[in-house]
Amino acid sequence: MISVEEALSRLLAPLGPVPPEQLGLADCVGRVLAEDVAARRTQPPFAVSAMDGYAVRAEDVERVPATLRIVAEIPAGAGFGGRLGQGEAARIFTGAPLPDGADAIVIQEDTERSGDRVEVREGAPRGRYVRRAGLDFAEGDVLLHAGKRLTPRDIGLAAAMNRPWLFVYRRPRVAILSTGDEIVMPGDPIGPHQIVSSNLLALAAFVTANGAEPVMVGNAPDDPDALRHIAAAARGVDLFVTTGGVSVGEHDLVRGVLSEDGLAIDFWEIAIRPGKPLMFGHYRNMPMIGLPGNPVSTLVCSLIFLRPAIRRLAGLPDAVPAPMTARLGVPVKQNDRRQDYLRARLSRTPDGTLEVAPFEVQDSSMMRPLAASDCLVVRPPHAPPLPAGAEVPIISFGGDALPL
Ligand code: AMP
Ligand code: MG
């Protein structure tokens, strides 16, 4: 058995980003940038008015009320060829270029117009309501960097930078194969001794949620020929993931059968709970993760191992999550030599403390407590027993962050 840390570093070592592709900007949301992006235009490209009102020379409105002569009308998208002279103003609208000679905007609400004259009742110091050229950014500024997952805000910024397309990494393709004679897809006809597969769809959802593309290869029964045949269908993907069949039982065929068919195992068995029998290697030149079959093991190991692997393939930098802790609401036992990930709920005590309560039953077959969990409590190997109130490291599932 190797440690979680060693397993993770050996699993990540051979993985690098998939090739980039050129994509229309609106389709780039959620993708990872494969290039540094420099602005192709200064923004704003010229000084503009931030308000509807009058462009003036600040010195002309030092004393108010002041009456100015209107010499131009400048809507957004238009310009004024001339120059404001002493005692002159230009009617101007939000986003319109500031005319030469003007250096301040008096807002409409502070004026009274009659014909080609405007009375200014409130002065405006130089620069008031003027957005200077380059206020936001200048041409050539590098504002988005390779390795960034693009948000709707980034798409807006790239558009403002005058980039209609970007180079982004294509989505990593992850083949998923479940195993077991007892496994039937939800909704399919089911025999008396069979169970419904949660792993295949859960894994597909996990892969999608992490920005990659799942390729569902199907389910291989516990038969060597069938397993060989179905596994061989996983071709041309960036990562091959199996679930089940990697443990020590006679019906756990993945390691033995596929080893005779192009699988080179790097490691098997990790000091982790749930998920000890996890395997990593290369199957026909594709990196391959053999996840354990128990549904909770599959998903916890996905969080610990598959997610970082997808990030590597996707061109993202390794995540350095801020260490998070919570106070135990109940005592926990001494741990053995496997790093334990306890399914747990989070709550706030009346004084605002983040409190965590692991579920009493930590059976790796039970989806209901996993789905009801907010986090995992991490118990390092040989961690001592802890009383209620002790601080423990947690991995939060993150809740519903706003997708902006
Ligand atoms: P295995 O690793 O194949 O021995 O599977 C361990 C346990 O996980 C067994 O109880 C299996 O029935 C169960 N299991 C395996 N694959 C799945 C799956 N796709 N969905 C739900 N449970 C599974
Ligand atoms: Mg099995």
Which residue puts its alpha carbon closest to atom 5 of ligand 1? 293
Say yes or no: CB of residue 293 within 6 Å of ligand 1: yes
Ramachandran angles phi, psi of 396, nearest 5°: -85, 145
Count CB atoms within 10 A of the CB of residue 191: 9
Question: Ligand 2 centre and the CA of 157: distance in Å?
Answer: 49
HSE on the CB side for 310, CA within 13 Å?
Answer: 26
- Beta strands 239-243 and 173-179 are parallel
Ligand closest to 181 (CA) is 2
Residue to substitute in 193, 195, 251, 302 for testing ligand 1 pocket (most ligand atoms within 8 angstroms of CB): 195
Which residue puts its alpha carbon closest to atom 20 of ligand 1? 197
Positions of the chain with pLDDT under 70? 401
pLDDT at residue number 401: 67
DSSP symbol at 119: E
Residue that is written with structure tokens 């050229």 in the block? 133
pTM: 0.93
Question: Ligand 1 centre and the CA of 279: distance in Å?
Answer: 15
- Contacts (Cβ under 8 Å, ≥6 apart) of 201: 185, 186
The tokens for 401 are 């962050």
- CA 379 vs. chain centroid, Å, equals 27
- CA 191 vs. chain centroid, Å, equals 40
Partnered with residue 386 across adjacent β-strands are 332
Single-letter amino acid code for the residue at 362: Q
Residue to substitute in 185, 199, 230 for testing ligand 1 pocket (most ligand atoms within 8 angstroms of CB): 199
pLDDT at residue number 321: 81
pLDDT at residue number 402: 75
Q: What is the largest CA-CA distance in the chain?
A: 96
HSE on the CB side for 140, CA within 13 Å?
Answer: 0
Q: What domains, with CATH codes, occur in the chain?
A: 4-16+171-313 (3.40.980.10), 21-40+142-169 (3.90.105.10), 48-131 (2.170.190.11), 324-400 (2.40.340.10)
HSE on the CB side for 133, CA within 13 Å?
Answer: 9
Single-letter amino acid code for the residue at 103: D
The minimum-distance atom of ligand 1 relative to the CA of 243 is 16
Name residues with Cβ closer than 5 Å to ligand 2, which is an ion: 180, 244-245, 293
Taking the C-alpha atoms of residue 242 and residue 176, their distance in angstroms, rounded to an integer, is 6
Say yes or no: CB of residue 195 within 6 Å of ligand 1: yes
